[in-house]
Amino acid sequence: MAWISLKIEAHDNTAELLSDTLMELGALSATIEDANAETPDEQPIFGEPGDPPPGIWQQNIVSALFNDDADVAALMADLTKATGLQNLSCEVEQVAEQDWVRATQSQFDPIRIRDDLWIVPTWHDAPNPAGLNIILDPGLAFGTGSHPTTHLCLAWLADNVKPGMNVLDYGCGSGILAIAARKLGAGRVIGTDIDPQAIVASHYNAEQNQVEAEFYLPDQLAPNQLRDEPADLVVANILSSALSVLAPALAVACKPGGSIALSGILREQAEQVSAIYAEWFDMQAPVYMESWVLLTGTRKCA
């Protein structure tokens, strides 16, 4: 069986209306995506404890999947009538039938970080059984180890984690960085993320790796916990705009003399983000991988 996918451009005040209406018109699924994803204009959608639920992006792509015999012209006419929105345009893609499980798994081979540090999907054998292998099911959360920002953070952890150190993984995604820190000898490791699915994936992946790490939604953390129990190492692999906003909170979460690693930053964003964190950290030279940057620093003692 094959399907067709409709992709429709939408503003922030029309995306949900279009998505809901497409489902009412018989779509098998409908999703809203950032139209500027993976560009410098990508927008973060994040929230902090006590804030209203995050919204959606200003510029969106609404994607809907239909059976391959759907009448696209009739669907678009019905969509215009039901929503009252004029001049809607769509792109139509054919989606062939395939084994989606195998297709997804085929995208994730073991990933070498160093000769002795590998990310190994649950359906693969470890290339170096004697090395430090992080067994990973990416689930629905970010962090498979394939992205340059994750790679940069893992290499930094491998060079900086010392036995017994406390580590905070802010924006833990799949839990990969927290799990790596624990396997590298860290003591208490805490991961936090605003996405409930990230917490589920992180717990699952920690169990697969037989390590103990704590994962929380922000509201599940004790009041002032990150301030009162600062970490020796803080790692945050999230969008640069979020990093900029969170700088004071991440500084408080890091012990004086402790270290921070920041990624999710494009080359052209590095100078601005580094300048923000320089208020609290002695920033070091950036490390580059493709178009992405790792920023690191040492927490000032005064």
Same domain, 126 and 269: yes
165's CB contacts (< 8 A; 6+ apart) are: 181, 185, 186, 187, 231, 232, 233
141 shares its domain with 179? yes
Distance CA 204, CA 143 (A): 14
Residue with tokens 């994936």: 201
Instruction: Determine the Cα–Cα distance for residues 181 and 158; give it in Å rounded to an integer.
Output: 8
Domain count for the chain, please give it: 2
Last residue of a domain, one of 40, 74, 97: 97
Q: What is the dihedral of CA 21, 26, 32, 35, to 10 degrees?
A: -90
End-of-domain residue from the set 80, 97, 114: 97
Domain assignment of residue 62, given as a range: 3-97
In this structure, are 130 and 265 located in the same domain? yes
Nearest Cα to Cα of residue 249 among 270, 220, 279: 279
168: helix, strand or coil: strand
In terms of domains, do 73 and 112 share one? no
Residue 219 CA to residue 238 CA, distance in Å, equals 19
Q: Let me know whether 197 and 81 are in one domain.
A: no
Are the beta carbons of 169 and 180 closer than 8 angstroms? no
Same domain assignment for residues 212 and 229: yes
DSSP 175: S
Q: Are 225 and 214 in contact (CB under 8 A)?
A: no
**Beta-bridge partner residues of 135:** 120
Q: How far is CA 207 from CA 115, 123, 138, 200, 270, in A?
A: 24, 16, 13, 11, 35
Number of H helices, E strands in the chain: 9, 15
Question: Are 108 and 92 members of one domain?
Answer: no
CATH number, domain of 91, equals: 3.30.70.120
pLDDT in tens, the chain (302 residues): 678 889 999 988 899 999 999 999 999 888 888 887 767 766 665 544 444 445 567 888 999 989 888 999 999 999 999 999 998 888 998 877 655 555 555 556 788 888 888 888 877 788 888 888 988 865 544 566 678 899 999 999 999 999 999 999 999 988 999 999 999 999 999 999 998 988 998 999 999 999 999 999 988 987 788 889 999 999 999 989 899 999 999 999 999 999 999 999 999 999 999 999 999 999 999 999 999 999 999 999 86
Instruction: Look at residues 72, 97, 122 and tell me which one is the last residue of a structural domain.
Output: 97
DSSP string, 74-120: HHHHHHHHHH---S--EEEEEE----HHHHHHTT---EEEETTEEEE
User: 3-class SS at 256?
Assistant: strand
What are the CA-CA distances from residue 133 to residues 110, 115, 136, 183, 276 (Å)? 9, 10, 9, 9, 35
